[in-house]
Each structure stands twice: as C-alpha cells, then as structure tokens.
Structure 1
Amino acid sequence: MYRLLLPALLALSPLVHAERLSIERIYADPDLNGPSPRALKIAPDGTRVGFLRGREDDQNQLDLWQYDVAAGTMQRLVDSAALGEHRELSDAEKARRERERIAQLKGIVSYRWSPDSRKLLFSVDERLWLYDLDGKPGANLRALTPQGFEVNDAKVSPRGGFVSFVSRQNLYVIDLERNLNYQLTHDGNGTVHNGEAEFVAQEEMDRPTGYWWAPDDSAIAFERYDEAKVDEVERTEVYADHSATVRQRYPAAGRPNVSVRLGVVAPRGGRTHWVDLGHDTDIYLARVDWLPDGKRLSFQRESRNQRVLDLVVADLATQRQTTVLSETSPTWVNLHDDLRWLKNEDAFVWASERDGHKHLYVFGLDGRLRRALTRGTWDVDKLLAIDEKGGAAYFAANRDDPLQAQVYAARLDGSEADRARRISEGDGWHDAVFGDNATAWVDTYSDPRTPPQVSLRKPDGSRIAWIEQNELKAGHPYWPYRDSLVEPAFGHLAGEDGQDLYYRVYKPLGYEEGKRYPVFMTYYGGPGRQYVNRAWGAHFEQYMAQHGYVVFALDNRGTPRRGRRFSDAIFRQLGKAEVADQLAGVAWLKAQPWVDAQRIGIFGWSYGGYQTLMLLAKAPAAFAAGVAVAPVTDWSLYDTHYTERYLDAPQTNAQGYVASDVLHWLDGLPADKLLLVHGMADDNVLFSNSTKLMAALQQRGVPFRLMTYPGAKHGLSTPALKKHVYAMIAAYFDEKLAHAQAMASPPAPTAAAAAAR
C-alpha cells in the first residue's frame, strides 16, 4: 500500500518541510541504503547464509555475519576491528582490491565456506583466519598464517582438506589435518608470478584468480605468467606529502602481453605438469575449469584479436587434448562464466551469442549442439545454477524488460526454451545467489522506490525467510528524506539507426508547469555497464533532482544487455555511435517544454569522462558545461584486452585510433566549459591521459578548470574524496547552469548551497 500511495503523497505534499539529501549525508554513516548485506553465500548444506556487513559507525569496515535458516536469527560471527593489525596492505593486495572495485573497503572483504559448512575462511589485513562454528566461544578462531605474512586469494579445497593462497608471487598450501605448510612454486619473483591473474585478466577479463582446485583435492591447476616483455611505464604518483616514481608493467594497446603457462601440481608438492596451450603463444588464458571426474582439465583460449574462443579439454593422464567448441565473431567474442560440466550426461551447458543474443545451450563433448535451453530477442545475463536431479537450469535475464533483471528457470531437456518460467517476485532489479544443487537461493531485490531487500527463496521463488527486509520506515537511514524522493520516469526514443535507446529522467523536486529547468545529463556509455535500470540508488542523481535540476540519463549503443547489433555499433571507432545517440537524447530534451535548452550540462566518469570530452568537442553548442572524471583521452595509452577488443590493434586500425581519440577533436572543444578531474595515482586510466589533454588545451589557449587528487586511484574511493569531488561537481553546475539565467520564480535551494551546509 505504501508503494502505491508514495507517488500521490509526493505530488500532494507541500515539500517545504521535506528534508533534502546533502552530499555530506550521501557518503556518511550509517549507509543510506540501510543494512544491506554483501557477499551473500549459502553454506553448502543450506543451513546458513553467510554475508558481510558494514558497521553502524563505518559502512566500509566489514564484519562477518551469518543467518541461521532454522532458527531465523542473524549473528555477527567475527568483529573485524578486533582482529585488525592496521598495517599497510601489500601492493599486490591494493592492486587486487582496486581491480575488484573494493578499494574503499576494509576489515573482512571476502570469505569462503568450508565444504562441511562448519568453518569459514577469511583474512584481515592479509592475515589468514579460520572460524569454526563448532568451536567454543573465544576459542573458535584459528590464525593460519603469522602476522606480517602476505596472503592473497585464499581458498578452501573442495573436500576441505587444505587451504591455499598466494604469497609473494608463489602458491602455498596448508594441510589442515597434518598442520603442515607446502610451498608449491618457487620461481615467483621479479617478472614471474605463480597462481595469480595478470593485470588484464583482473581488470578486463573478469578473472580475479590464477589457480583452480581439482574437485577431489588431488591437484591444483595454476597460471604462471612472465611479464618481462610487457612495457614498463614509468609514472609518478603524487601524494600529499611526497611523490613516488612507479615502474608499472602496463600492456598498452598494440604492445606485448604477458607470457602465460598453465601448470598442474599436487597439493603437497612435487613435479609440475605443464599443459600445452597451443602453438600460438600470443593468446589469452581466459578461463580454467576442472571436469567433474578430476582427471580432465578444460581451458578457454582466446586469440589476441578476440575473434576466436576455443574450449579445450585436456586429459592429464594421456596428455590428449580436444578442442570441443570454438566461438567466432567478426567483431569480438564476449567472455562469460556460464560453463557447467554435467555429471549425468556427457555434455556441458554453455552460453553463446551466435544468434545475436546471449542464450544457453547444451553441447556434447563431441562439440555437437544438442539443444537450446533459452531462445528469444532478449539476453541471458548469467547462468546461476544447474539442478541435474530436478532437470532445471536457473539464470538471470532481461526477458520481460531491458531495464530489469529477473530470475528464471528452464528445463534442462530444452522443452522450455521459448517459455522459461520467471521465479523472481517484483518488477525491478534482482541479484540472485544460488546454493549447491539449487536447493535454495538468496534474492537481493530493489527498485527506484525500494532499498535493497534480501530474502531466502525456494527453487520455485517462494520466500522462505527475510534475511534483511530493509523496509523504508521510521528508523531507516533514508526515512528523513522519503518525502523528497523524486521517482524517475523511464522511456525510450529512436536512435539514428532506428534502435530503441532507453532513458531515465527525473523532474526537479517541486516541479511547476510553465518553468524551464536546467539539465544535469549523465551516463557511462561504454561496454560492460548498463547505466539506466529500474534499481535503487543513483543518490547523486536524486540529489541533483532535489536541488532544481532535470536529471537525464540514456544508454547509447555499445552498452550491454541489448544484443550484438546494439553493442557492435562501436567496433573499430569509439566515440561516434555513442555521441550520435547521446545527441538524440539532447534533441529529445530540447523538445520538452520544461527544459531550458541553453542550460544542459554533462557529466561522466571513466568511459563516461571520455564521452563528456567527445560530446563537448563534437557538439560544443549543445552544452553549457561538462565534467570529465578520469577520462581516457588517447586509446593507445589504454590496455590491450579492452582496447583491442573494440578497436583492433593500432597496427591494423590506425585511422580508427585517431578518430577515437579525444585529442583528434580538440579544435572543437570550447573555452571554459570543461572541468577535468583525475586521481594522481590512477593505475587504470593513467594520469598521463589527462596530462596530454592539459598540454594540448594549453597549447591551443583553451581555458579549462582542473582538480587533481594526490594519491588517489581511479575510483577516488574514500568517503572524504567522494564528498569533495561531488560537492565540487554540484557547485560547478550551479555556477554554469543554475545561476546562468534567472528562473521564472525562485528555485529550490541550489546544489552548491546544500553541499555547503
């Protein structure tokens, strides 16, 4: 009932007494989203759900919690602050957290269940701990490594006999029964790394790990990479009180990648067996998976140009290899984590975009297609679980609405390929985590009016219990701002090629007919991220809407979840289709009677920052101002796997690189319309992208504004930096847009005034 009444209440309320968001509050404690659990994992026996939760006084300090299904109770198992040594993390761990976008988090940032569901493995400040649910209070924690011993990527073996981890570029194993430690590799040093994923695997291939346990604990497959041939980039990281010269191995587009090998070793050491990855050494080791028998190992080998992906099965006893499947594309093949080897059939489930949309299929080990599990003009997001006994496959997809994520079930025999059953409840966005054998799943649901709600569900979707209902009621952190909540409208418009472009728009709080309002236009616009969706969040957009702005976002071609025709429009030239689509959005805005066409400002971060620069340079008259945070300006400075996927190598598409670079279009970039922002220790989009832009603009005599952040990485991840950068952005648009022309009547408080409070 509350949901149904909310829009009406907002429309009728006088708004004078409604409390508006402030930037200070958005990034303060407690978290505005409410008590939202992270890293939800169902114990293998299904009796408990583990999760991480931020503290009331520090949302970024995570503790380990459990939900007991039978008892219906939640309990904090480990207070991370009591275990923390507060020591500096290693460079490897800092880099890993930056790659996984968790650089702002501290305490317990990840954990794993043991196979018997009685223990949990985690680290605090890189010291490894094992928590025993059956242990006596005060004696249920066991330190597995000494203080000061670097630990990364720790895992419990599938049968629970061992714990493994990477330290100082080598792979280690702890035999829990014998209480013995084994160092499995010894040559990790300098440019050689064992058991780790290389930079582009972590950053661009969504592969954070570099080793894989056999299902019977008999062996470990591991990656060994040597980055000796990768160019060293010398960059200066500028901090508040010092500067550091960093020599980073960075594989820029068109330049050499790491050399990769795949080894297999026993958990107590011994001779390493090396798997033949093929005659072409300039490849990507995309994925590694064991088959259920523990005797065969599969790996996915991606060509350097990313147009061929081979799935290879290696029999370790006979050393015989079979390429069971090859995916090809005239543009690029997208990687995924949707491979499942079946136990009751000599076959596997695999995702493919061969018909223009991502769908699930069953292939035999002979490589022949046996049947499709899903079909239609929509996209599977990911395979969530396989229940062979029940004959079902569970997956997330956008079948009902491109702006939603829902959970579905389909028969493994292919009989429901055209009519998969939706099992998630509520329109909006569902993130699902399934337990072993798909006996239960955890659903994290939200929509633009509902903060994330976490529930435990049966396979048919019916609710077993709330883990965190997180109702927006008195006592919730967002409750004081509920009457100022501006509900967005969603729609679509036609792009230049006729495809639908979906948008989200907020009218200003207290909107009045007859007024024309300034526009805060924002986007990501690049591959891999859908920006416009029916989910909770977008607090800064909400903030700008509450302080006098129309807020508009549109997903252009090149963004995901819309099929290959939509995504492939950017192939071999970036910043063309994206700009055309965003300008279609501008044309739509200018046609609205409540928009002041002379006061449209644009903002983007990372790829969105690149898009801001391209829009300002290619269509300067359309915008009054723009903010670009951490933008790529020269694609030859960005990494191999990402850049070559969309642009090919510079050696084969030189003109495409020129046309895609911001620097090529700078003669069109207007004076005094740009605020450029960059972290001075960014190791993803290197700071040199912005220094090249600065120098080029200065040579042309084009004035612009600049804010740099000493010591900050790509995400400007600390609360203090977030508050500073967003307050500055709000103030910049107030100056350029809100104060540029008087409104017909006094406006709502400006964003800058609210940020200053």
Structure 2
Amino acid sequence: MTTRWITSALMAVPMLLSTPISASQTHHNQLSQAQVNQGIVDSDTQALLSAAGNKPLSIERMYASPALAGTSPRGLKLSPDGKRVTYLAGRKDNQHFYDLWQMDVASGKQSILLNADKLTIGELSDEEKARRERQRIYGQGIMEYFWSDDSKALLIPASGVLYYYSLSDNKVTLLPTGEGFATDARLSPKGHYVSFVRDQNLFVLSLSDMKVTALTTDGGGAIKNAMAEFVAQEEMGRMTGYWWSPDETAIAYTRIDESDVELVTRNEIYADGIKLTEQRYPYAGKNNVKVALGVIKLSSQKVTWVDLGKEQDIYLPRVKWLPDSKRLSYQWQSRDQQTLELRVVDIDKGDRAKNLVEERSEAWINLNDDLHFLKEQDSFIWASERDGFNHLYLFGLDGKIKTQLTSGHWVVDGVEFVDEKSGWIYFTGRKDTAVEQHLYRVPLAGGEVEGVSQRRGMHSVVFADNQAVYLDYFNSLVQPPQVSLHGDKGQHLAWVEQNKIDKYHPLNEYLGLWQVPEFGLIKAEDGQDLQYRLFKPTDFNKDKKYPVVVRVYGGPHAQLVVNSWSEHDYFTQYLLQQGFMVFQLDNRGSAHRGTQFEHVIYQHLGEAEVNDQKAGVDYLRTLPYVDGDNIALYGHSYGGYMALMGLFKAPDYFKAAISGAPVTDWALYDTHYTERYLGHPEQNAKGYEASSVFPYVKNYQSGLLMYHGMADDNVLFENSTKVYKALQDEGKLFQMIDYPGSKHSMRGEKVRTHLYRSLADFLERELK
C-alpha cells in the first residue's frame, strides 16, 4: 500500500445515463470566475474548451483504444550522450502494446527504434509477474530498456530472456543467459557486463566473450541473493537487491533469509479453478526476513560481508556506492521506523561502518531517494524532514551540516539532477502550491531557490546523465500528458509528444463537456487547512440540489486534490454528465503538507481521516445546491477502508458507500507499512482494534457495495470476506462483486467496464 497505489489502483466509477445528454446540446463548460482567478485555466484553455465537441462520455469508451488521453509515451530517457530521446509508445490499435521509439535531438525527427515484434514475447514467471505488479508496470511488448554508457547499445529484457541491441548495425542479439527466467537485468556502468538474477542467484555475463558467471550459488528455498524482499518492493520502493560499483570491479548485494517469515498458502481464485500460492508474508507484528549485505569482487569472487550491527530485526531500505568505488553507503532503519541512519563503510579497509547522519522521529521517518554524493568535493546532498518539511541539506563526509539548501513551509519532492560544474541542484517540489509539482533549482553553495518550470500543473522530469537538459512530462486538469525537451533554465527546445488536442485528438469530441473543479480550503478540528476540489455538474443550475459522490483515498503518501490529468478522473467527468457533484478532500495524514499534517494519524488510523471527511460533508451541506441527504463515499485500497469507516462510523453523513479492495483488519497487512503508522501490535493493541472496521460493523444501516479482486496479492481477499461474514452474522444487507483472477489494480478493459457499470447502477439506485 505504497504511494504508487494512488496511481494504479484508484478506479474510475462511471454512472449509467439517467438523463442522456444530446450531442446537439450547446456547450456546458462554463468556467466560473473562481476557476479563472485560481489560475487553473487560461485564455487558450477557455478557447480550447469552447471549440471542442459535446459528445457524452460512455462507460465503454473510457479505457478503449485509442486512449482518450491521446499519445502518452512512457519509459522516457535521454541517451547518455544527450543526442536521443527514447520512449515506449503504445500502438494505435492497442494502447497496451509498446514499441521503442526515438527522437533525434538535433533534428527533432521521430522514428521507431525497435519494433517489439523482433523480440520473442512470452509468458512471465510468477516472480516477475509479482515484481511488475509492485512496480505498477502493465502492458505487453517492450516494457523496459537500458542504455549503455557509450550510447551505442541497449539492453532489453523480454519475458525472462535478454536482448542486446547494437545501434550501429541495427542488430538484435539474444544473450546466452542459460536456462531459467532472468530478471532484474541491467548493464554495468561502463557497459562491459550484463547482470541478472536467476533462480535466486546473481549472475554476470561478459559481453566480450559471452561467458556467464554465477556470483552466488546458495540461493534457493528461503535464501534469495540480490533480490528485494516483499516489503522492500511493496513498501520501501526498492525493487532491486544489488548495486554495481561505478568502476565495475564489484557488486554489493543483499542476501535475505526468509526462513522465519510465516509461510502462508494464499488462494488465487480464477474462473476456471483455484491456484494455491505459497508465500512468505510478514504480517504486522510477525517476523521479517533476515538481511545481510555483501560485496563481491568480480576478479576473485571473494565476498566481504558488511557488519550491520547486533540488531538483526531491521530494514535496509537503501544502498549506494560513493563515486570512488571504495566506499559503500547504506541506510539502516529500525523496526519501528523511528530511527534512520546513513552509514558508510570502506570495503577494502574492512573498518566498521561510520554513521554520517541519524534521523529520529516520535512517529515515523519517510524514506526518499535524494542521497547524492558529490564527485568534486567531499560532500553529499541529503533530504530530511527534521524541521517539519522535507528539505535539502549539504553535508560533509564528516557528517556535519555545511548548509541547509532549502527551507520554508513547503516540501521538496525529489532531487532530479546535480550539475556540479555549474553549481546547481535541480529538484521538484511544492514551493508555489501544494496542488502542483514544479521544477526548481538552488545553488549548490546555498542561495535563493529559482523556479524553472513555467506552466501550471504537474511536471515530472528526466535529466540527461551529464548535462542540464531535461525531458518534461507535463500534465494538468485540462491537458493530457505532453513531453517536451528543455534547457537548463526551462527554455523549450523541442516537442517529443505535444499531444495537442485538435480535431483529430481522441478527446476532442468529448472535451466540450469536460468540467474543471474549483479549489478551496476548510479547517480541520485542530485548525489545520484541508484542501478540496469541487466539480459541479455539466448542466449546473444553482437553483437545483444535486447528490454528491465523495471520492476518497485518505491514506498516507497520497494526494487527490491536484491540478493534474488522471485517467481515473474519467469517472468524475462521467458522473458530472449524469447530474452528480463530485467532491474530493485531502484529509490529514495525506502527502506534501509536512510532518505535523501527516503524523496526526500515528497509532490510530481511521479517526482523524474520517473526521476530516465529515468536515467536508459539513461544508457541502452549507451549499444551497447540495442535496445533503444524498451523499455517497467511494474509494479503493486505503480509500476502500475509508469508505467502510465513513459509512460505519458516520452513517448520518453518508447515505451509501462503495468500498474497493479495502484493508479491513490491519493485522492482515504487512509489517513495514502497518507498523509505520500503528506501531507494533504488542505495544498498541487498542490502536489496532480501534483502527479496524470490525468494532463499527454494528452501526451499519444500509447502502454498501464492496468489490475485490479474487487474486489480489497486495490487499488479500480475506480482508473483504471477513467483512462479508461479520455483516451476515449481524443480519445486515449489502452487495458485493468479486472478480475471479483480478489483482489489486483491477486491470483489463472488460473487467473495468463491468465494474463501472455495476457501480453506476448502484449509485443511481442509492442516490437518486
């Protein structure tokens, strides 16, 4: 249940037509003065909306091909020499099948670089399927690729085999990796080797003689070499278990022992049978894996084990080499996640690790990827929330702070590029507003923060390896993703994919009915500001009263109230065309607002979050055009949990609720996520009980629909079946829809279409 949840799992819920909108109707996209004043729309946007078509959006069209959002490349990269932009693009007849494309930076010419049909695309292993689910990688064709350091070749993993593509002669070579499924493959830093994991061991292949060497041999059963354990992948954002030294002489890797982790048999229910899957799952309060960190020299294959300390019940969330290839850093995290230490060890000297930084919290410490060791000086950049907001600091290798680089009541999202020659650090953050992500830069020596990105919305960036040139993946509420190339000060150099909404764009015929929300603030019970956005119906009439669907996520590390394009908002647009209002509020505990805002939920989930959603309903009921007796709550994942908690704890606020794939008993979820917020069950038994939905089942009256994927390996299906049984024992009536073979994200056009039609029918009956 990581931040990635909100990207992949918050599902759109369309509505059946209650009052069909005729294509002959006049445009209804009337922008309020509040929207104009808030800067959400500009004159060009107003003109665009006014000129677009009025076709109603149907359930079946939402996720059909071609994609409504138009061309939206993924896997964006700049070649190390900065001469090519490469990306994965879906085909026009199948948006989920990807080929590798390129753009020549000098000419702007775009062409297909490698057709996926040249590769053998087969079935994935169970391990790789699970890994991709946790990476939120979905689709077919070419899904990953890696540049060589000299920009002359690419490594492309495909269904357990590896291809080496030479650009000079346009030749694709199948690498001899041996029998078995190769996963987590990559090129070494200088491009002389290919490394991969097979059968729970680490291998390297020399590209000079195509010889494969097994660097570890004891993997198998409960022992996994160079692999990230379940909670590292799902909760820490660490998808690998090995790291090349910059000079290619050594590889650091983890050796995990799962022997003490509870082995459970998980049922994955499919339409044609039940698959029994054995999985070592670390339930909250139970045993984790034992992790060791080793460094193996390629020349001698000798392993040096790093002394991680006497305490074995710890986490190892990050590992990173220093530029000299002699010293290795790792981040040591306590089981309670209230202590995080950055340690550095000299591998050749065999000294004990030196602790450079120690972070402490009375609640929890958020992990990040913003550690950057400088090459030109004995210093490093470190991100910390020690002043209540995530900011950047410059440390010396003696562990002393040289300067705080950013400060203020706003957060840094991440370091994107460090230009040591020019003396700039480029980072994304929320300095201007919490509802948008922008690119900024600050002098490496300290000084004023400068804005780099210009347009209102969300900017995700990818820099070249060795120069301050970047790709900007931009989107906003009214602009599907665009990709452009920019210079060091944000100057526009070229379009990679303009994705302009013209008369040929798939969205154009629908955009005339697209609605833009109004943003606002209300107060939480502790006085903190809560941000919301309110979408009004297409045919809004201030003299009428409208039912409201409150879309919620509500969990940590997530945010809904943003100026961002999202395919999950197709649901919202559909609702608006059927005469519903849609309201979204980021309650306390959600992201990008600092630790005071987040830590309110510590040791008791579902209390402050529900109170804030109730405050949102209180606000809605002050609006003369809101039908305060017809308000529904809808969410998926943590949002599904919130839907149950809201309906069970505040039935006088919500007439109905839709709960998708909810966590219902936190004892059923994993250690790293659950204990971060609730602590250990032995120390906080009352908090676990109060945070569960079951003490409140007796309050349920009516109006509940639950759904769950029956092969969900993230939030196990058992979470929903326990609620089914509890409600049945209480004699309570409710509805449920379970999907054979579906995972947590409910992928697939047929599954989604059926789901949305079912939920639409439910909301029509409950609220109208």
TM-score (norm 2): 0.93
Q: Give the one of 521, 533, 539 matched to 1:504.
A: 533
Does residue 468 in structure 1 map to residue 497 in structure 2?
Answer: yes
- How far off is 1:146 after superposition? 6.1
The answer (yes or no) to whether the contact 1:184–1:268 under 8 Å persists in 2 is no
In structure 1, what is the equivalent of residue 8 of structure 2? none
Q: Report 1:76-91 matches (<5 A).
A: 76-85=112-121, 87-91=122-126
The answer (yes or no) to whether the contact 1:490–1:503 under 8 Å persists in 2 is yes
Q: Report 1:151-550 matches (<5 A).
A: 151-267=182-298, 270-320=301-351, 321-416=353-448, 420-537=449-566, 538-550=569-581
Distance in 1, matches of 2:298 and 2:453, equals: 41
In structure 1, what is the equivalent of residue 163 of structure 2? 129
Distance in 2, matches of 1:637 and 1:679, equals: 16
- What stretches of structure 1 of length at least 5 have no aligned partner? 739-757
- What stretches of structure 2 of length at least 5 have no aligned partner? 1-35
Q: CA RMSD in A?
A: 1.6
Distance in 2, matches of 1:6 and 1:425, equals: 16
- How far off is 1:88 after superposition? 2.3
Q: Could you list the per-position Cα deviations for residues 384-430 of structure 1 after superposition, in whole angstroms to 9, with x for gaps in the alignment?
A: 111111100000001101100000000000122xxx10000101111
Aligned residues: 726
Q: Could you list the per-position Cα deviations for residues 554-593 of structure 1 after superposition, in whole angstroms to 9, with x for gaps in the alignment?
A: 1000001000000001000000010010011111111111
Distance in 1, matches of 2:167 and 2:532, equals: 48
In structure 2, what is the equivalent of residue 100 of structure 1? 135
Counterpart residue identity of residue 685, structure 1: V
In structure 1, what is the equivalent of residue 624 of structure 2? 593
Q: Could you list the per-position Cα deviations for residues 126-166 of structure 1 after superposition, in whole angstroms to 9, with x for gaps in the alignment?
A: 22111111114xxx111114697312111111111111111
Q: Report 1:15-34 matches (<5 A).
A: 18-34=54-70
Q: Could you list the per-position Cα deviations for residues 157-200 of structure 1 after superposition, in whole angstroms to 9, with x for gaps in the alignment?
A: 11111111111211111101122111111111111111110000
Counterpart residue identity of residue 655, structure 1: K
- How far off is 1:502 after superposition? 0.8
Distance in 2, matches of 1:215 and 1:189, equals: 29
- How far off is 1:362 after superposition? 0.5
In structure 2, what is the equivalent of residue 4 of structure 1? 43
Distance in 2, matches of 1:585 and 1:148, equals: 57
- How far off is 1:334 after superposition? 0.7
TM-score (norm 1): 0.94
The answer (yes or no) to whether the contact 1:486–1:546 under 8 Å persists in 2 is no
The answer (yes or no) to whether the contact 2:177–2:205 under 8 Å persists in 1 is no
Counterpart residue identity of residue 495, structure 1: A
Distance in 1, matches of 2:273 and 2:748, equals: 19
Does residue 669 in structure 1 map to residue 700 in structure 2?
Answer: yes
In structure 2, what is the equivalent of residue 69 of structure 1? 105
In structure 1, what is the equivalent of residue 592 of structure 2? 561
In structure 2, what is the equivalent of residue 753 of structure 1? none
Does residue 729 in structure 1 map to residue 756 in structure 2?
Answer: no
- How far off is 1:59 after superposition? 1.2
- How far off is 1:730 after superposition? 1.6
Counterpart residue identity of residue 758, structure 2: M
Counterpart residue identity of residue 747, structure 2: S
Distance in 2, matches of 1:529 and 1:62, equals: 28
Q: Could you list the per-position Cα deviations for residues 235-255 of structure 1 after superposition, in whole angstroms to 9, with x for gaps in the alignment?
A: 211110111222211000000
Distance in 1, matches of 2:225 and 2:602, equals: 34
Distance in 1, matches of 2:393 and 2:561, equals: 29
- How far off is 1:677 after superposition? 0.5
Distance in 2, matches of 1:576 and 1:146, equals: 52
Counterpart residue identity of residue 266, structure 2: R
Q: Give the one of 653, 656, 660 matched to 1:622.
A: 653
Counterpart residue identity of residue 765, structure 2: E
Distance in 2, matches of 1:437 and 1:585, equals: 47
Distance in 1, matches of 2:463 and 2:63, equals: 31
In structure 2, what is the equivalent of residue 55 of structure 1? 91
SS in 2 for 1:508: coil
Counterpart residue identity of residue 520, structure 1: V
The answer (yes or no) to whether the contact 2:651–2:699 under 8 Å persists in 1 is yes
SS in 2 for 1:433: strand
Distance in 1, matches of 2:704 and 2:262, equals: 32
SS in 2 for 1:306: coil
In structure 2, relative to structure 1, the CA distance for the partners of 1:81 and 1:24 (3 Å cut) is farther
Q: Could you list the per-position Cα deviations for residues 527-569 of structure 1 after superposition, in whole angstroms to 9, with x for gaps in the alignment?
A: 1111110011221111211221101111000001000000001
- How far off is 1:271 after superposition? 2.0
Distance in 1, matches of 2:509 and 2:196, equals: 45
- How far off is 1:607 after superposition? 0.2
Distance in 1, matches of 2:142 and 2:178, equals: 16
In structure 1, what is the equivalent of residue 708 of structure 2? 678
SS in 2 for 1:659: helix
Distance in 2, matches of 1:153 and 1:583, equals: 45
Distance in 2, matches of 1:95 and 1:168, equals: 15
- How far off is 1:438 after superposition? 3.8
SS in 1 for 2:60: helix
Does residue 118 in structure 1 map to residue 152 in structure 2?
Answer: yes
Distance in 1, matches of 2:387 and 2:400, equals: 16
SS in 2 for 1:25: coil
SS in 1 for 2:644: helix
Distance in 2, matches of 1:315 and 1:582, equals: 51
Which of the pair has the greater relative contact order for Cα pairs under 8 Å at 6+ separation?
A: 2
Counterpart residue identity of residue 435, structure 1: A
SS in 2 for 1:643: helix
In structure 2, relative to structure 1, the CA distance for the partners of 1:726 and 1:268 (3 Å cut) is farther
Q: Give the one of 677, 689, 695 matched to 2:725.
A: 695
Distance in 1, matches of 2:475 and 2:278, equals: 43
Counterpart residue identity of residue 262, structure 2: D
User: Which runs of 4 or more aligned residues in structure 1 lie more than 3 Å from their structure 2 counterparts after TM superposition?
Assistant: 5-10, 145-149
The answer (yes or no) to whether the contact 2:176–2:210 under 8 Å persists in 1 is no
SS in 2 for 1:532: coil
In structure 2, relative to structure 1, the CA distance for the partners of 1:146 and 1:502 (3 Å cut) is same
- How far off is 1:225 after superposition? 0.4
Distance in 1, matches of 2:535 and 2:422, equals: 45
Distance in 2, matches of 1:294 and 1:92, equals: 31
- How far off is 1:5 after superposition? 5.7
Counterpart residue identity of residue 423, structure 1: V
- How far off is 1:268 after superposition? 5.6
SS in 2 for 1:24: coil
Distance in 1, matches of 2:219 and 2:291, equals: 13
